[in-house]
Amino acid sequence: KKSFSQRMKFMLKTRFSKEALSRFAYNNFPNKDDSAGEKIRKIIRDIAFVALVCGIVYLIIYGCSYLERRILNDRFQTIVDEYETIEDAQLEDAWADIKVNYPDVSFPEGMNIKFASLYAINQDVVVWLTIPGTNISTVLLQRNVEDHYLYKDIYKQYSRYGRPYVDVKAKMGKEGLSKNTIIYGHNTHDGLMFHQLTNYMTVEGYKNAPVVTLETFYETTKWKIFAVMLTNSTPDADNGFVFRYLYTDFNSESAFMAKINEIYDRSMIHTGVDVQRGDKILTLYTCYQN
């Protein structure tokens, strides 16, 4: 009587013998004995099978990536929420614990403690963006290299999804924000990252989420949506014309208001929110394709 392992070895040897593989290839791939119609049938079937396998593999990879990013976003949210309600009397002890846990990190003086653990992960962390009414609640990064995080994650590893980031020229320090704080993020079409910015293309989407919250290390600001634009980024998409609006600062208040009026003219919806001289604006930028 053969043991289980012996039976398995026998079955594998039998099923994957040279003769068995030859029969499989003969029956499933075109060969010289096949008629023209049979060869075509086998080719179509083989192509369909390969396409099916590739599709399944892609869905598995896509699904795993989606879950990984959801888990990571939830983890970052938990890190921030840990110190959300900390009292002033507890701050000194909390900072002491953080500095013990991260002895090699020099934290910016006066920063909000809720961002300290994220800053310890990556010193390019500068801000947190939240849009109530959407699933956008994310840490943002900024580096002195343009588009550095377009295809890198918070751990500075390659990622096709990148990480939302602040324009290299934007001010994020104690002195306050730039005239126009520009934030970039991918539209990943899976509901994450900046995908739900496309909701603003309808009045209903705007009504569901009319306010944006931006938290830096030093202040929390709230922003009203005043315009929504769909623009081209390359000249060949509009007879050689590209509307320029990604400026962090302007030469004068008159130049600023002139640009605001141009943005109003191009807005897909009319919010009724007015922008005045002396105001600052926030620009959220993502890609869009029909």
Model confidence over 184-207: pLDDT tens digits?
999 987 778 899 999 999 999 999
Average pLDDT of span 154-176:
92
For residues 27 and 72, which has the higher predicted lDDT (pLDDT)? 72
For residues 154 and 191, which has the higher predicted lDDT (pLDDT)? 154
Residue 290: predicted pLDDT: 62
Q: Is 245 exposed, middle or buried (0-12, 13-18, 19+ CB in 10 A)?
A: middle
Q: What is the pLDDT of residues 11-24, one digit of tens each?
A: 555 555 677 667 76
Residue 212: predicted pLDDT: 97
Q: Specify whether the CB–CB gap between 253 and 215 falls below 8 A.
A: no
Residue 4: predicted pLDDT: 54
Mean pLDDT of the residues in the chain = 88
Residue 11: predicted pLDDT: 57
Residue 50: predicted pLDDT: 87
Which 3 state secondary structure label does DSSP give 65? helix
Residue 7 pLDDT exceeds 60: no
Residue 42: predicted pLDDT: 83
Residue 203: predicted pLDDT: 94
Residue 55: predicted pLDDT: 87
Q: Which of 38-52, 116-130, 189-203 has the highest mean pLDDT?
A: 116-130
Rounded to two decimals, what is the model's pTM?
A: 0.80
Q: What is the pLDDT of residues 208-257, one digit of tens each?
A: 999 999 999 999 999 999 999 998 888 887 888 889 999 999 999 999 99
DSSP string, 139-176: EEE--SSTTTTSSB-TTS-B-TT---EE-TT---STT-
Residue 10: predicted pLDDT: 59
Average pLDDT of span 247-271:
95
| Alpha carbons 137 and 116: distance in angstroms, whole number | 17
How sure is the predictor about 40, in pLDDT bands with cuts at 50, 70 and 90? confident
Mean pLDDT lowest for which of 121-125, 156-160, 176-180, 209-213?
Answer: 156-160
Residue 283 DSSP label: E
